[in-house]
Amino acid sequence: MPASKPVAGPSVVSQAGRSGRNWVALSALAALIVLLPVAGLALEALKGSSGLWAHLFSSILPVALVDTVILLIGVGVVTAVIGTTTAWLVTAYDFPGRRMLQWALLLPLAVPTYIIAYAYLDILHPIGSVQGAIRWVLGYETPRQFRLPDIRSMTGCILLLGFVLYPYVYIPTRAMFLTQSGNLVDAARTLGISRREVFWRVALPLARPAVAIGIALALMETLNDVGAAEFLGVRTMTVSIYTTWITRTDLPGASQIALALLLIVVALVGLERWARRRQRYATDARRSRGLTPQKVTPLKGLLFLFAGSLPILLGFVAPALYLTTEAWKRYQFAGLSSRLLGEAISTITIATLATVVTVALGLVVAYATRLRPGKTSAFLLRLSTIGYAAPGTVVAIGVLIVLAGFDRLIDRTALDWFGVSTGLLFMGSGAAVVYALTVRFLAISVGGIEAGLSRIPLSLDHASRTLGQSTAGTFRHVHLPLSKAAISAAALLVFVDCIKELPATLLLRPLNVETFATHLYGEAARGTYEEASIAALAIVAISILPVILLSRVGTAGRG
């Protein structure tokens, strides 16, 4: 009879405890990596003179703050209305095309905000085909006789951003509607409440936490935007940071505006949590059933299909068709530019490196939380994910300050010891871009991996330890194989976000290095959007990948 493996004794348990502390220490290092740019930003802001603060408060901040607040309110209202309405439409009613709408409503997520701005600037140009067709129908001949309101306005910016960002509200709100008990709806209907009143008096109040989360995410993406707001003539605080830094070469002034913007973001997150502080929803899963979609008449079904398709047409189909047409024209005229291959290599290389680093740190933070759950690990997890709330321009300035300081320190040391100048070791190698992207998107990695690890029963950990496996062995042989789907999904989301990211890449990329996003920004700045249509189309095509992933997750549940 073969001898059984020894049961884990005190030495194994103590080893596991020490290993857990090591993981927490690594988690603290990850949090420090995220916090360093914020500390650098604060120190740089203090370097500005008191007169600079007075100048900012008197001339720059008032205009930028007002424009930012108006834009946030407008985008919040548009995304809330579109996201909540479409979520209820495809959940509560059964009509032809409903299943197609359920996943197609996610497609605008594939169009970065700056791309939709550039596309619509051309689509709705006064001498463009759209306004030309409208004038032909109305019997006008020139733009002087008739032209649509200029898209370069606050209203245009609000509408365009709203039609791109509404899926942030649609996704959690629809999930909340799907989990609401059909028994509550039936009880309301027996009391004489119509289906429309059920939405206002039952479903929407219960879904307010999901709506609040979605609006907060959409507003954070709005604050992160540089390209769309700048080219649509809206002087937000993010645009002011960029122009103060790049145009006026005033880093302390840009740091001060960035610090003020960071305070607004903190207030926004606090407001979102305060708004849903008392929201609780509980139901008996054994007795509840899902909400059953109500069949509608054919005419009403066509109206619902049109209403649900409108955000898709405006937020995805129109810009995608424009980009495809312009890319084909560009390809027929000049073929594929040789610089496009270099931009593709730069884009994929930077995104891949940032994804590897971000996923590795995400594994450390999430696994430390699993090994030693408690206040310390939870606090470190929150600290490591605050970068996602900070706009890319804010993170970029903080990273620049930190890594430029390290570059100077290394250069001085090398000169003193070896008489050799190392130059811009971090800033000139692309490490700054990777660092900024890691800080920005570590929250996505941590959240996805933590969700995957939470599905693994703790009994498997105990069984592995009993069989003599160390913490590292358990991680390698048990947790990694069982959570590889969650890790892969998190890596995909991070990779695509890195490719779409414009502010951090634009501000920190090394000299003579172009990515798809920066190429598009440069052509848009020169007014030649069509020259970068192939690059823009490539970004949209790559960005569809997480949309496909989200649609598969959505259809896996109740439809």
Give the pLDDT score at 250.
Answer: 75
Give the pLDDT score at 291.
Answer: 65
Give the pLDDT score at 49.
Answer: 57
Give the pLDDT score at 161.
Answer: 94
295 — phi, psi (to 5°)?
-70, 140
In-domain check, residue 367: yes
Query: What domain count does the chain have?
Result: 1
Instruction: Pick the closest to residue 269 from 182, 110, 386 (CA basis).
Output: 386
Give the pLDDT score at 373.
Answer: 83
Structure tokens at 107: 């497609």
143 — phi, psi (to 5°)?
-60, -25
By three-state DSSP, how is residue 156 classified? Answer: helix
Low pLDDT (below 50) residues in the chain: 1-14, 282, 284-286, 556-559
Give the pLDDT score at 559.
Answer: 45
Give the domain extent around 485.
Answer: 14-47+345-510
Instruction: Pick the closest to residue 113 from 554, 549, 543 (CA basis).
Output: 543
In-domain check, residue 363: yes
In-domain check, residue 522: no
* CATH label of the domain that carries residue 457: 1.10.3720.10
Structure tokens at 30: 């990850």
User: Within 10 A of 61 (CB to CB), how many other CB atoms are there?
Assistant: 19
In-domain check, residue 123: no
In-domain check, residue 106: no
- Contact between 464 and 497 (Cβ < 8 Å): no
In-domain check, residue 96: no
In-domain check, residue 435: yes
In-domain check, residue 207: no
Instruction: Pick the closest to residue 79 from 199, 154, 173, 163 (CA basis).
Output: 163
Using a cut of 0.75, tell me whether the model's pTM lies above it.
yes
